[in-house]
Chain A
Amino acid sequence: MTTAPASVTPVDSDSGAVEACGRRPLLFMTGSAIAWLVASGVFSLIAGIQLHAPGFMADCPIFTHGRVQALAETSFVYGWLANAGLALVLWILARLGGEPLRAASWIGAGAFFWNLGVTLGLVGIAFGEGTAIPLLQFPLAVQPLLLVSYGAIAVGGVLAWTGRRRVVMYASHWYGVAALFLFPWLFSIAQVMLLWFPVRGTLQAVVAGWYEQGIWTLWLAPLALAAAYYVVPKARGAVLGSYDFASLGFWCLLFVGAWTGGRHLIGGPVPAWISTIAIVAASTLLFHYAIVWINLRGAGCAGGPALKFIGFGLFAYVLGGLGDALSAVRGISEVTQFTHFDQAQHQLAFTGAISMMLIGSVYYALPRLTGRAWAYGGLVRAHLALTALGVLVLVAALAAAGIVQGRDLMQPSVAFAKIGSDTAPWLLLASAAQAVLLLGNVLLLVNFFKSALCPFYAAAAASIRRPAALEARAS
């Protein structure tokens, strides 16, 4: 072995043979995910600053607010969440199945082309080829590439599931397999109905809403829950409470969650039944959140930062679901619709819930992939503190800004310039929170470099260094 820094090779009670084949692609996906997390943080920060200082980077067409907003959202979801979620799901399915990950080269190629597609898509959005559809901003030309590369990645996961040695299925199987299958179906239907053969009029908005909510309830939430359901009992050593209801929660999420598509079309130019069904589905979904809470509560109580991340994310997940149901009621959405309050809910769900659960799971999984612990324990703790603080302040500030904006919008005498100045202090606070989040994620990136890449390069260098003559110059 190389003269690695003072980290101890961790001994895990499970055999490491499972990772033998899949190690490289999964590490590549995790590394790209973290890089995308930092990149999206930069874009979010720029977009956030522009809300209260509109002149910031306004001269540069690439960073005009609309495009930067699209860049931030796309790189966060399809760069960070997709890569991290898929890597974790693949790893977990292989682990639970008890067989090494198959089709590793497919996964590697798929991951490479997925990230290439995301990069090309972001370049396209920056130069004005974006579609202005929330969560489907990619230029049309890039979308088939993304679909095919996702298929290549998912192949490994599906094979790990169908070819598993241990026949028993667990909650992580259900959520993981759901995420693997549902995304391509959602993505291709939305592509066809919105971009290849666009449907007429506001039906586009209905399809876009169905897709956006589908991405949240049928893809991202399952990715995060698959990881949480695996890491929490393994790390705590305790069986999940009331696990016999977990399948009810799963099916509730799938069958009810898919009907929340009209959630953002309340009062919009679509027949009223679409948003009524969405409101009803959002409240019925509380059953799913209740069961997830019953199963996974206490995740963050005892344990290291990894479990604390997951616990925080879980709390944010359930709180977000409750907030979603309450704010869907027409009396409240009358004030909060179209305001920063919607953005606050979005951040609570994406950054607070899904992202934190995946970060915690990455902190748990990476040492098993690399075979060595994280390099800097202090950075891990700092990341936890910064992220928790950042999410709390961001959500609270955006919610306050949204309520102020909503109240002002309801009074017709208040001009938009005044609304801007009323919300500016809160938006400034939100930008500060985004800067804190970005700092925390940069710490993660540094930690990843040191933990995964540096030893990798050191090992590679060691394998090609010439003997004796260079011994004196050995690191």
Chain B
Amino acid sequence: MSPSQPNDPTFQPAAMTDEELLASHEKLLEPQPDERARYPILPLALLFFFSGLILFAATYLNRYSGRYDPTVFNENSLPLGKGKEAKVDPVAFGKRLFNQSGACVTCHQATGQGVPVVYPPLAGSEWVNGPDERVISILLYGLQGTVHVTSKSFSAAVMPSFGPSGFNWSDDKIADVLTYVRQEWGNKAPPVTPEQVAAVRAKDGSHPAWSEGDLLQIK
């Protein structure tokens, strides 16, 4: 050996040869004589540890995998099951439709308060919270003339049609935007389904814009 000091930083001596390294470690892999007839704890501890990790892994995978579905981006969700299309949340979609430029928000405002005399409010409106068919008819065919909302009168503007003679929105869109309006700004009315919109459309066909008096006939 070289006459270097212990822990000489310039040279770390080797304390065993390569042959010894290989042989001594290979020896450990052979079956060991059981000297004291005691089971060594380490394999048991490692086994428990590994089993614990597998248990955690399996539980976590089961809970948060979203059933490995490509449409599940939120780990808390479950896929809808085979054959069903993921449906958009009607409230969120309705909100988006409401806020499209040129659509509802332009007149009724983002707060749902409207503009005095010109555009009626939607917040707390008895028309919004009233019979389903009435509010669907307003959207599908429009409203003209004076209308009284929350004891105030509005006559300066015309509500356009969002149905076949106007913006031509689909049943889903009309249903979603109504669902959104009916739960926003303190309104508490049940959601509107596309089937209800389709029923109104089928019943009335191509109807001119409603007036207040005719609308109040709808129950």
Residues of chain A whose beta carbon lies under 8 Å from any beta carbon of chain B: 7-14, 95-96, 98, 166, 168, 170-171, 230-231, 233-240, 242-245, 248, 269-273, 275-277, 279-280, 283-284, 286-287, 290-291, 294, 303-307, 330, 363-364, 367, 373-378, 380-381
Contacts and interface: CB of A to CB of B under 8 A. Distances in A.
Contacts of B3: 8
A272 B16 contact: no
A8 B9 contact: no
A63 B207 CA distance: 68
Task: Name the interface size band of chain B.
Answer: 35 or more
Interface string B53-86: 1101100110011101111111101000000000
B49 A244 contact: no
Contact of A8 (B2, B17, B72, B77): B2
Contact of B66 (A12, A245, A273, A283): A273
Interface of B: 1-4, 7-19, 21-26, 28-29, 42-43, 46, 49-50, 53-54, 56-57, 60-61, 64-66, 68-75, 77
19 contacts: A8-B2, A13-B17, A166-B22, A168-B22, A234-B15, A237-B16, A238-B15, A271-B73, A272-B74, A276-B60, A280-B61, A287-B50, A290-B49, A304-B11, A304-B12, A307-B12, A374-B9, A377-B8, A380-B10
Contact of A168 (B26, B65, B73, B75): B26
A10 B8 CA distance: 12
A284 B21 CA distance: 30
Contacts of B18: 14, 95-96, 98, 166, 234
Contacts of B2: 8-11
B47 to A, nearest CB: 10
B65 A272 contact: yes
Contact of A273 (B11, B13, B65): B65
B28 A375 contact: no
Given A96-B21, A272-B72, A276-B60, 5 more contacts: A96-B22, A234-B18, A243-B28, A279-B64, A374-B10
A349 to B, nearest CB: 20
Given A170-B21, A290-B49, A235 B10 contact: no
B72 A10 contact: no
Nearest to B1: A11
Nearest to B77: A272
B14 A235 contact: yes
Given A8-B2, A98-B18, A273-B65, A364 B12 contact: yes
Contact of B72 (A11, A271, A364, A376): A271
Contacts, number: 156
A277 B18 CA distance: 41
Nearest to B16: A237
A473 B22 CA distance: 50
Contacts of A284: 53-54, 57
A381 B25 contact: no
A306 B65 CA distance: 45
Contacts of B68: 271, 273
Nearest to A268: B73
A304 B9 contact: yes
In the A-B complex, the 9 residue pairs with the smallest Cβ-Cβ separation, listed nearest first, are A237-B15, A377-B9, A373-B11, A272-B75, A373-B10, A380-B9, A374-B10, A280-B57, A306-B12
A381 B1 CA distance: 22
B29 A303 contact: no
B31 to A, nearest CB: 10
A233 B73 contact: no
Nearest to B14: A234
Nearest to A368: B14
B53 A286 contact: yes
A364 B68 CA distance: 48
Contacts of B17: 13-14
Contact of B11 (A269, A279, A307, A367): A367
Contact of B16 (A234, A283, A286): A234
Contacts of A10: 2, 4, 11, 13
Nearest to A271: B70
B46 A291 contact: yes
B8 A239 contact: no
Contacts of B12: 231, 235, 303-307, 363-364, 367
B200 to A, nearest CB: 39
Contacts of B54: 284
A294 B17 CA distance: 23
A231 B1 CA distance: 18
Contacts of A374: 9-11
Contact of A271 (B1, B42, B69): B69
A243 B43 CA distance: 12
Nearest to B50: A287
A8 B4 contact: yes
Contacts of B42: 242, 245, 294
A283 B12 CA distance: 36
A166 B18 CA distance: 10
Nearest to B19: A166
A330 B65 CA distance: 13
B64 A7 contact: no
Contact of B14 (A13, A166, A330, A377): A13
B115 to A, nearest CB: 30
